[in-house]
């Protein structure tokens, strides 16, 4: 067997017993009927499972199936539709626990592996490379998800919620979406963001975050700009879109701005910005520093409560 195949097999062996098939049922006329299926993976020894919020959106009853066919019921610990992340919990055993990686260490072109249950084919494997990091994704329902990884690993319905792993078998993302009609465009939620969301869902059952209204993607800052402005940032967040009536719009941010600092703290990644969008900053005026047309500008912005309806 060739060395490359051995690397893939070894990575899969480290996580395969943590990957689960998720079947969702709802009540109809006094009986349970199927309402969808997807994937997930156990990430803690006490039975917490990552999946997508849209996988369990219509759930009445949730059944989890391990690789060896063992079935168990799961309960919902919490879900956050804004990030498309949900946490389930099982109270049985027989599973192993996935090792979570650090998505900040990812590099464009890195080889990645997706595992899930596409179209009901349990524990299917597909491979690809990392095409982009720190993306903002607008789903078919209009939902905007931040901190998204872009890959060309083929995904299909049923892959949602499954792990995206590196060749060390570490989870670096949660597979979430494909673009209909496109080829080589698949997306996964950054695992560093998922960790932050999981902490809040497990502790509080919900997520309270501040909202700016930006669509962003991570980019390298040109060395000439860094040297001219004496910046320590090697990366920034390119603003690719601004939501109407949002805090960013009111702060007069513009598409093409590169965010380098928020509330006095340097920004190197979209996950880094997300960590700073805490409940304490809601409705409080803070500074946001951007590169605009080659110059550094400081603006004032007032983050809003996530999930509220903004009006003019």
**How far is Cα 19 from Cα 39, in angstroms, rounded to an integer?**
7
The mean per-residue pLDDT over the stretch 35-58 comes to 93
Using pLDDT thresholds of 50, 70 and 90, give the confidence band for residue 29.
confident
Task: Identify the pLDDT of residue 75.
Answer: 95
Quick one: which of 24, 20, 28 has its CA closest to 59? Answer: 24
Among 23, 37, 39, 54, the one annotated catalytic: 54
Among 23, 84, 190, 257, the one annotated catalytic: 84
Query: Which helix or strand (DSSP H or E) is residue 192 part of?
Result: helix 191-204
Put simply, whether the predicted model's pTM sits higher than 0.85 gets the answer: no
The larger pLDDT score, comparing residue 269 to residue 166, is at: 166
**% of the chain exceeding 70 in pLDDT:** 94
The larger pLDDT score, comparing residue 261 to residue 93, is at: 261
The mean per-residue pLDDT over the stretch 283-303 comes to 95
Among 103, 124, 160, 270, the one annotated catalytic: 160
Task: Identify the pLDDT of residue 135.
Answer: 81
84 annotated active-site: yes
Which residue ranges make up each domain of the chain? 3-89, 99-204, 210-305
The larger pLDDT score, comparing residue 128 to residue 83, is at: 128
Indicate if 210-305 has the same CATH topology as 3-89.
Answer: no
**pLDDT of 182 over the 70 cut:** no
What is the end-to-end Cα distance of the chain in Å, rounded?
63
The mean per-residue pLDDT over the stretch 127-133 comes to 92
Task: Identify the pLDDT of residue 142.
Answer: 61
Using pLDDT thresholds of 50, 70 and 90, give the confidence band for residue 301.
very high
**How far is Cα 120 from Cα 122, in angstroms, rounded to an integer?**
6
Q: Is 210-305 in CATH node 2.30.42.10?
A: yes
Question: pLDDT digits over 233-263, tens only?
Answer: 888 999 988 988 999 999 999 999 999 999 9
Quick one: which of 84, 59, 54, 85 has its CA closest to 73? Answer: 59
Task: Identify the pLDDT of residue 312.
Answer: 28
Q: Is 99-204 in CATH node 2.40.160.40?
A: no
The mean per-residue pLDDT over the stretch 74-89 comes to 92
Task: Identify the pLDDT of residue 308.
Answer: 37
Half-sphere exposure of 233 (CA within 13 A, CB side): 26
Q: Is 3-89 in CATH node 3.90.1150.10?
A: no
Task: Identify the pLDDT of residue 310.
Answer: 32
> Three-state SS for 291?
strand
Length of the chain: 312
Query: Which helix or strand (DSSP H or E) is residue 171 part of?
Result: strand 170-178
């Amino acid at each position: 067997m060739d060395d490359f195949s051995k690397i893939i097999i070894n990575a899969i062996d480290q996580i395969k017993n943590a990957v689960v098939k998720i079947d969702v049922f709802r009540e109809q006329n006094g009986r349970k009927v199927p309402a969808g299926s997807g994937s997930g993976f156990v990430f803690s020894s006490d039975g917490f499972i990552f999946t997508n919020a849209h996988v369990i959106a219509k759930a009445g009853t949730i059944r989890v199936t391990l690789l060896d066919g063992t079935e168990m019921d799961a309960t919902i610990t919490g879900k956050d539709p804004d990030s498309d992340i949900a946490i389930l919990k099982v109270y049985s055993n027989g599973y192993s626990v996935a090792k979570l990686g650090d998505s900040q260490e990812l590099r464009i072109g890195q080889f990645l592996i997706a595992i899930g249950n596409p179209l009901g084919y349990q524990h299917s494997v597909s491979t690809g490379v990392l095409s982009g990091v720190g993306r903002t994704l607008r789903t078919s329902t209009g939902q905007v998800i931040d901190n998204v990884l872009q890959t060309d690993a083929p995904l299909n319905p049923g892959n949602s919620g499954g792990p995206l792993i590196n060749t060390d078998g570490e989870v670096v993302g949660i597979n979430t979406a494909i673009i209909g009609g496109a080829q080589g465009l698949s997306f996964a939620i950054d695992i560093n963001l998922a960790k932050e969301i999981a902490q809040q869902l497990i502790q509080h059952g919900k997520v309270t975050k501040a909202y700016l209204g930006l669509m962003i993607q991570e980019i390298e800052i040109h060395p000439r700009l860094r040297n001219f402005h004496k910046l320590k940032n090697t990366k920034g967040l390119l603003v690719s879109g601004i939501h109407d009536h949002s805090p960013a719009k009111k702060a007069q941010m513009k598409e093409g701005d590169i965010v380098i600092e928020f509330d006095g703290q340097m920004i190197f990644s979209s996950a880094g910005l997300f960590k700073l969008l805490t409940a304490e900053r809601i409705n409080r005026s803070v500074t946001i520093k951007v590169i605009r047309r080659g110059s550094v500008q400081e603006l004032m912005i007032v983050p809003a409560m996530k999930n509220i309806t903004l009006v003019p």
